Amino acid sequence: MSTKRTPPLAGVTVVEIGAFMAAPFAAMQLADLGADVIKVEHAVGGDPVRQTGPFLGTESSPFVRINRNKRSVALDLKSPDARRAFLRLVERADVLVENLRPGAMRRLGLGYEDLREINPRLVYASASGWGQDGPLAGLPGLDIMAQARSGLMSITGHPGGPPAKVGVPICDLVCGLYVALAVTAALRERDRSDAGQYIDVSLYEAGVSFAVWEAGKYFATGEVGGPMGSAHQSNAPYQAVHSSDGYVTIGATTPRNWQAFCDALGLTHLLDDPRYADAFSRLANRTELIGTIETVTSTMSTDEIVERLNKAGVPCAPIADYGEVFTDEHLAARDFFWDAEHPTVGPVRQLGSPMRLSETPVRRDGAGPMLGADTREVLAAVGCSPKEIEGLVASGAAVAADG
């Protein structure tokens, strides 16, 4: 029987200067793993996601989810006094994660070269649209621009249709995941060298990193892929097909699964058809193959197809909407969703972390904090006197939600 222990990143202090998605999502991963994440927000308004609906009372519903397990300190870093308080915080931190426009932190005197002078062990991670150098570095870069330039939008959607992006901000999110992974790697290296380092991750390169199949094709043959709807780039049948009441996804690409698929749906005559003799042949003749498959699947309900294929051991799944996902019995059985407490709105339903560690489980603490909820506590812990803290609050260089 497993005994719950201290989370793996307990004792690691992370300072986040993040807005919107990439840095906050990265820091959320680190917070889930036990790090003490101190979210430093602008004293006026804080993270812009705080103004993004829908709202729970006066609190942003997206904000209180993506910023769970964190503490909030509200400072105006353009104020000399607030900047001095921030530097005290950095002196004792292990990690800084930021996603301001390249150069913005340097202009504040808070770039990596500045901060390593006061904390040589600091791991400093920057997330940006295009990276910290190169011809595009100075341009604004949102997720949709990264999806466009990275090639993702060129292969998303249906042939001949208008441009389509992935339904979630995938470049933002995977950039955040790469930042979190790089930070943990840099902390491991610091165990050996006792020195911090700088990490540069971009939405653009995060998006390009997905092109595993496309790179394999292009660098081998020079062929450039295009949109294929739900179909796979190099396997068939592997896509959504019509049922009598919608669609169902199928994946019958191995010899065993192809045999079981045909047997389960009464398509055994396809097993002797030379056009479908192997995976390469089925891919070359995909249009005819899918048409034949759909003459059968379109007469059956999605539930019936899934039941038959599951019984035969063939990979398949219905296409669920999020109303179904968020009430899914499998996820409920695995205790994926959980409620985080918030001081004003009460329990806030959270998406669980996909990281399941048997001995050191991830944290499930509070929902995203109110702006400046921890300003006084955090600044006092890094040596600011009560007089200094009250002076910051009185001048507007800091916000403290606790009074």
Q: Is 91 left (phi over 0), alpha (psi -120 to 50) or beta?
A: alpha
Place of tokens 């341009």: 139
Q: How many CA atoms lie less than 13 Å away from 232 in the CB half-sphere?
A: 18
The Cβ of residue 180 has, within 10 Å, a number of other Cβ atoms equal to 26
User: Tokens representing 41?
Assistant: 């927000």
Distance CA 338, CA 359 (A): 19
Q: Which of 54, 48, 85 is nearest to 67 (CA)?
A: 48
CA torsion 384-387-389-390 (nearest 10°) is 170
Which of the following is catalytic: 32, 76, 143, 172? 172
Distance CA 178, CA 219 (A): 25
Place of tokens 């999502």: 25
Distance CA 292, CA 270 (A): 9
- Indicate if 172 belongs to the active site: yes
Distance CA 386, CA 381 (A): 11
For residue 345, give Cα distances in angstroms to 213, 341, 342, 348, 368: 45, 8, 6, 8, 11
Residues with a known catalytic role: 172
